[in-house]
Amino acid sequence: MPTSRETILAALHARLLALPATALRGEVLPERVPAGGLLILRDGEPGEPEVTLSPLVYHYQHRAEIEAVVQGAARDSAFDTLCASIGTALAADRTLGGLCDWVEAEAPRPVDLPLEGAASPKAAVIPVVLHYSTADPLT
């Protein structure tokens, strides 16, 4: 049976799969960026939880990351559209179907990704904070 953390990350990945860009999870950057763009979900860090006693509950603010990459002549507008589509997908259900308390994306942080033999892509890391609680940090 998957842990709460894995269930939430899988739900976030499923949300990204519904977008027009290719969505991967934990993969390396491929040599070619698909025409619709590329999203790679990184599991990130759950961080130190806040703990409440009686009943014992661990409250996490898990920081996952989405690497967003586009390439081509209209890469600026394609990148803007891709980021907006991520925001819209997350805003449609901030609890991922009730799996977590709140999901919130932060502003994209640009990164340089030189690809050999190809036009330079436009890329950024988009932090996504997943707020959830669990009775055990290992489940």
Q: Which residue has the tokens 């025409």?
A: 35
Bridge partners of 62, per DSSP, are: 130
The rounded distance, in Å, linking the Cα atoms of 70 and 33 is 7
Residue 64 lies in a domain: yes
Model confidence at 32, in pLDDT bands (50, 70, 90)?
confident
Q: Cα 17 to chain center, whole Å?
A: 11
The string of pLDDT tens digits covering residues 74-130 is 889 999 999 999 999 999 999 999 999 999 999 999 998 766 666 678 999 999 999
Q: What is the pLDDT of residue 115?
A: 65
Average pLDDT over residues 44-62: 96
Model confidence at 139, in pLDDT bands (50, 70, 90)?
confident
Average pLDDT over residues 64-72: 94
C-alpha torsion 10→12→17→20, nearest 10: -170
Q: What is the pLDDT of residue 113?
A: 76
Q: How many CB atoms lie within 10 A of CB 50?
A: 11
What is the DSSP annotation of 96-120? TTTTSSEEEE---EEE----TTSPP
Please determine, for residue 43, whether its predicted confidence score (pLDDT) is greater than 90. yes
The rounded distance, in Å, linking the Cα atoms of 49 and 59 is 5
Count structural domains, the chain. Answer: 1
The string of pLDDT tens digits covering residues 14-24 is 999 999 999 99
Q: What is the pLDDT of residue 116?
A: 66
Going from the C-alpha of 108 to that of each of 65, 98, 118, 134, the distances in angstroms are 10, 26, 23, 29
CATH assignment at residue 24? 3.30.2000.10
Determine the residue type at 80.
Answer: D
Rg (CA), the chain: 16
Domain that includes residue 20, residue range? 4-134
Contact partners, residue 30, CB within 8 Å, separation at least 6: 38
Residue 139 lies in a domain: no
